[in-house]
Structures are given as C-alpha cells and as structure tokens.
Structure 1
Amino acid sequence: MNEIIYEGPFKDHIRNHVELKRAVGYKYDTDASHLKRFDRFTLEKYPDATALTKEIVLDWCSKKTYEAQANQCSRASIIRQFGKYLDSIGVKAYILPKGYYPTEDPYMPYIYTADELTRFFAETDKCRYCCECPYRHLIMPVFFRMIYMCGLRVSEARLLKVADVDLENGILTIHHSKKDNSRLVPMSVSLTERCRHYSQMVHPYSKAEEYYFPALNGKPMTIQNVYKNFRRFLWRAGISHGGRGKGPRIHDFRHTYAVHSLKKWSEQEKDLTVYLPVLKTYMGHDSFEETAYYLRLTADVFPDITLKLETRYPGMIPELEGALNETD
C-alpha cells in the first residue's frame, strides 16, 4: 500500500501512531485510511487545533445519514485509540468512552449446508465469459471453492500471487494477512487439480509476481467485484439473502469451513484438544479463543453433537456472542 501523507494539525501524531501500531504487528491499512479522512476533516474545520478536544471528536463521530451504525462505531473506536495514544505521550486529548455509541445486534455467522454449497458452486461453474473481465468464468469456480475448502479470508485469496500457489505440492503461501501474519495452507487433491487446470488456462506464461486471480490490467479483483458475483451466484442457487448486514456473507464460507471441520472430527471421535491447535494454525488465528469459538458455533448449528461437545470440552466452549471480529 502506498504511504499516506497526512497534512492536518495532527499530521505528525497520526503518522507516529500508525507507525507504532504497525511496529507491534498490526497491518493497520484500513485504519490508516480512516485516519487520513480524519486528517482532511481537521485540516478543513480545525486547522489550528493543538489538542484533540471533545468538540472535535464528537463532530467527527457524528453519524452520517448514509452510514450504518457499525460504521459509526468503527470510526469512534479508531479515534478513541488515537486519543489514548495522544494522552500517553502527554498531548491533551478527549478519550471517547468505550461503548459511547450503541452497537447493533452482533452478526451471527451463516453456516451453509452441504446442499447449499453444492448449489452455489454449481452456479459458479456456469459463469460465462465476459469481455470486460475475460478470465471471470475461469476464476469464479476456483476462487470461491478455495475460500471454503481452505478456510481463507477473502483478501487472502484475492491477493494471492502466482508464486504463492505451489501446484506440485498443493500448498498456498499466505503473506501478510491479519496482524501481518504469514502461513502455509495445504490444499486438497481435488482443489490442487482444479488449480493446475486453471493455471494452464490463465497463467501459461505468467510471472511469479502476477496476481493469481487477475482482473483488468493485471490488478487483483476488487472486493466490490467479488461481492457482485457472489450475490449473483447466491441468488441463482436459491439461497436467500437477508439484506444489508444480514448475510449470508462471503466470509461465512470461512466460518462454515471451521464448523464443518469440527463436526467431522467430532463424529470421527477425534481428540479436539489435539485438532483445535491444528485448525488454529491452518486458519491463521491469532489466539486460541478465536478457534475455540467455533466449538460453540458447531454445537449450536448441529444440536445432535451438542451433548458430546459439552461433555468432553465443557471448559473450552465460550459463550456465543456474535461473530468474530475478523475483517479483510
């Protein structure tokens, strides 16, 4: 990502704050972009500000008519963290109280059924050639299967390079994902074979640094483009969508992968205390709590194995309080 130039009254502090966040392991690209908008806002309305006052903070956090409640809460959280940073270095700052703005009900992950997955992937296979995106009909069947079968985040699949897909050993290399972590992700035999066929069609002479799922001009597919195709396949597969913020979402393929894995292991009488760390590493979770969350979700989605999970892992299953805070 290109370096952002800050120009407002807090420009030096914002830059130092972003550098500190990245130094301790956060990717912080999205938040840095939000802070750039805050930087422009203060440059226009409070160019002579020397302190982060309550007036500035509340003015910036005031809800826009077009935005969802979650967006306002996100902006408030970012500016709250910035206020805490300023306070820590001795700069006068108003720190917005945590939970100052009411949050919406947390989103509950949508777990696709086996039949829904079959119907969805069948629709991706019917994707037709489009001159505006000449590889779309080849990309979509592989792209969405890879997200589900490897439990990937959308950005992890979208930003793969040709060199990241080892077709000989069937392994993906994920670089600089959440909190700048990297990992190796083995693929199934069937997915590896799909990727080999796909690469023969799309990347017969591609360079290692080119994007594996290219859009126009060799750039990666945009999130908007991926989502537009996702909604079309969802509709054609007869899977209902609840509207904005209701799901199902693309990210729910990742949730579904985790839940289906735990269900299969539970039915096979596998020791989940051994398999959970494997799932944690495979999915690139930063903490064990993120992975253990899926024990509760699995029990709720598949009531027939609830007793088994509750009996064997009573202290490991957290209360289910909405979706994990996982972003692209």
Structure 2
Amino acid sequence: MLIAHAERYVALRQALGFKLREVSMNIRAFAKFATARGDTHVRVSTAVDWATQGSSPNVRYIRLRDVVQFGRFLHAENPAHEVPVNLFHFTRRRRLPYIYAPEELEKLVEAANHLRLTYPLRREVYATMFGLIAATGLRVSEALNLGLGDIMPGGILRIRNAKNGKSRLVPLHPTAVTAINRYLEARCQMAVTDDHVFLSAGGRRIASSTVGSTFHRVMRLAGIAPARTRKPRIVDLRHSFATRALVQCPTRREAVARHFVALATYMGHTDIASTYWYLEATPELLTDIAAAAEALIATTEGI
C-alpha cells in the first residue's frame, strides 16, 4: 500500500513541474523499507529508523525531511498516517570559490588547445566550452546540454530546462560570439547525427565526469594554483563570472538593485539569495560594502 502511495505522490508532484530526482529515490526507498517491516501507514518510528541509516547528518536530515513531506500529504487524506518531526540538524557550508584572474583564464583556454588529440575536435571542444562558461557563468550542465538550435541569431544562447526546470536567454559578448562561431565552423564539419554543440569522442553529449577529469588535466597543463590543497574547480568559472560582474556594480542604491536582478536573471538563479552569496566571495566586494556602510552611518549621524 505504501509503495503505491509513494508512486502516486511522486507522479502528482512531477506533474506539477517538480523533478524530484533525489526525493523520488528517497520516498521509494522509505516505502520499501516500511513495507518490509509490515507497515501500511507512515509511522514516526519507522521514518526515524530509516533516516538514521543515512551516511551523514545532512543525509539523515534530507531523508527525514522528504518523509515528513510525504507523511503530511498522506495525513491530509487519512489521519492514520503519522507526520514525523525532523530530529536531525542540517548544516550547509558553501565552499568559498576560487576566483580566477583574467590571465589564468587565458592560460586555461590556451592549455585546452594543447590537450592530447584523442579525437579530431577535442581541443576545440574544451577550449570553447571552458571559455564560454567563464564568459557567461553557465552551469556545466547547461553548456553540455546546448543544442545547435540553441545558438540563436544575434549572439543569444537559449538555455532550456535548466536547474529547477527554468529556461532563459543568455546574450553573449561579441568576443564570445566570435569564439563560438569559429568553433561551430569546425563542429559542423563532423559527420554526426547528435545535435549537441559539444561532442565526445563517440560523437555524443559529453558526460559530466569526463568534463571534470579533463578540466583537472587542463588545470595541470596551465599550471594554475599548483600549491593549493583544495584545487580550483570548474564551477569556480561560474563563480568568477558572478563576482567580477558584482565588482563592476554601480554604487547607487537603485543601480545596485537593478544590477542584482539582472545578474540573477542572467545566471538563472531562482532565489536572489543565491546571488547575494557572491558578495562575500572577494575582498574587493567586502571592502566596498564596509565603505558604503560607514558612509551611510556617517550620513545618518549628521541628521
């Protein structure tokens, strides 16, 4: 019975537009666990026991959080279902990004052009992809999912079904347009049926794991931050774009508001708080904030 309820719950929420990739796995796993115990309804004790099997405090929190939502859904239909209280604490610490200097980005693209030629388009693929992410702040998945039809006239990228199912248009700088057009000239000579812009050796969409390992190889070739214990990541290209954009933000209050909204929209943030997080990413931004706060306090005291 619980397994059928789980499938109905997942199907209903997905029909409403939620992807529920991890949530669906958790709900189905819980339903199987509870059914194996002989439960026909959501029970607090069973939910806690199942969540406790998680590998870390955060995993246990997420497991029980998903069951709490599932329990509320079923309890609304039948009070015999119990609604657990989440006993676990979630601690989220976002790792501060590595901000690439402009000369490091140049080295990165140049190093990609010296990769071992395991297939004809490999160097052009990675040099263009890494340069595009750095110039636009795209998520890696968004770059990998680009189709030829998503390169629109006028230097516009169409990002379809990105994070949280959102889509958006991303205008490109003229230099990025030149680079992508140069790449497409070589790309369109490939005799493949796959529509993806960036192709693997097999002529298909590149796996995220392959991009990650290739990026680390390019980083070594470029000699970027070799002494760091925590190596810069490919996602830091996106972070670098955001922080550089904020450094150029005007200081007038109304201009700052417009700048933040524009950046959040450009990067595909669903919550403006995701954009605010970048304020703490560079010393320049924190210095500007402190100076603005001091100026505001001085003005207030003079009133």
Aligned residue for 1:265, secondary structure, equals: coil
Name the aligned partner's letter for residue 270 of structure 2.
D
Q: In the alignment, what sits opposite 1:278? A: 262
Asked if 1:78 is matched to 2:66, the reply is yes
Per-residue deviation at 1:195? Answer: 1.1
Q: In the alignment, what sits opposite 1:10? A: 2
Aligned residue for 2:10, secondary structure, equals: helix
- Which structure carries more helix by proportion? 2
Asked if 1:124 is matched to 2:108, the reply is no
Q: Distance in 2 between matches of 1:238 and 1:151?
A: 19
Sort the Cα spacing of 1:40 and 1:258 in 2 relative to 1 into closer, same or farther, 3 A.
Answer: same
Q: In the alignment, what sits opposite 2:206? A: 221
**Given the alignment, which residue of 220, 232, 238 partners 1:248?**
232
Per-residue deviation at 1:206? Answer: 7.2
Deviations 1:88-133 (A, max 9, x none): 43351352416x04536442333333343333333222222114xx
Sort the Cα spacing of 1:122 and 1:300 in 2 relative to 1 into closer, same or farther, 3 A.
Answer: same
Q: TM-score, normalised by structure 2?
A: 0.80
Q: In the alignment, what sits opposite 1:288? A: 272
Mapping of 1:83-122 within 5 angstroms?
A: 83-90=71-78, 92-97=81-86, 100-101=88-89, 103=91, 105-122=93-110
Per-residue deviation at 1:184? Answer: 0.3
Identity of aligned residues (%): 23
Q: Distance in 2 between matches of 1:241 and 1:26?
A: 42
Q: In the alignment, what sits opposite 2:290? A: 307
Deviations 1:227-262 (A, max 9, x none): 11122223333325866xx56332222222111001
Per-residue deviation at 1:173? Answer: 0.4
Aligned residue for 1:248, secondary structure, equals: coil
Aligned residue for 2:248, secondary structure, equals: helix
Q: Distance in 2 between matches of 1:218 and 1:311?
A: 57
**Given the alignment, which residue of 125, 130, 152 partners 2:138?**
152
Name the aligned partner's letter for residue 276 of structure 2.
A
More off after superposition, 198-207 vs 251-260: 198-207
Deviations 1:52-93 (A, max 9, x none): 3344333433356xx565545444443343333333433513
Sort the Cα spacing of 1:59 and 1:254 in 2 relative to 1 into closer, same or farther, 3 A.
Answer: same
Sort the Cα spacing of 1:15 and 1:250 in 2 relative to 1 into closer, same or farther, 3 A.
Answer: farther
Deviations 1:6-29 (A, max 9, x none): xxx533322332234334443323
Does the 8 A contact of 2:10 with 2:24 survive in 1? yes
Q: In the alignment, what sits opposite 1:49? A: 39
Aligned residue for 2:241, secondary structure, equals: helix
Aligned residue for 2:249, secondary structure, equals: helix
Sort the Cα spacing of 1:103 and 1:269 in 2 relative to 1 into closer, same or farther, 3 A.
Answer: closer
Q: Distance in 1 between matches of 2:82 and 2:227?
A: 43
Q: Distance in 2 between matches of 1:287 and 1:214?
A: 32
Per-residue deviation at 1:226? Answer: 1.4
Q: Distance in 2 between matches of 1:39 and 1:269?
A: 51
More off after superposition, 181-190 vs 144-153: 144-153
Sort the Cα spacing of 1:281 and 1:206 in 2 relative to 1 into closer, same or farther, 3 A.
Answer: farther
Asked if 1:212 is matched to 2:197, the reply is yes
Unaligned runs of 5+ in 1: 1-8, 315-328
Aligned residue for 1:50, secondary structure, equals: coil
Sort the Cα spacing of 1:135 and 1:94 in 2 relative to 1 into closer, same or farther, 3 A.
Answer: farther
Asked if 1:164 is matched to 2:150, the reply is yes
Aligned residue for 2:196, secondary structure, equals: coil
Aligned residue for 2:244, secondary structure, equals: helix
Q: In the alignment, what sits opposite 1:139? A: 125
Does the 8 A contact of 1:87 with 1:93 survive in 2? yes
Q: Distance in 2 between matches of 1:42 and 1:206?
A: 52
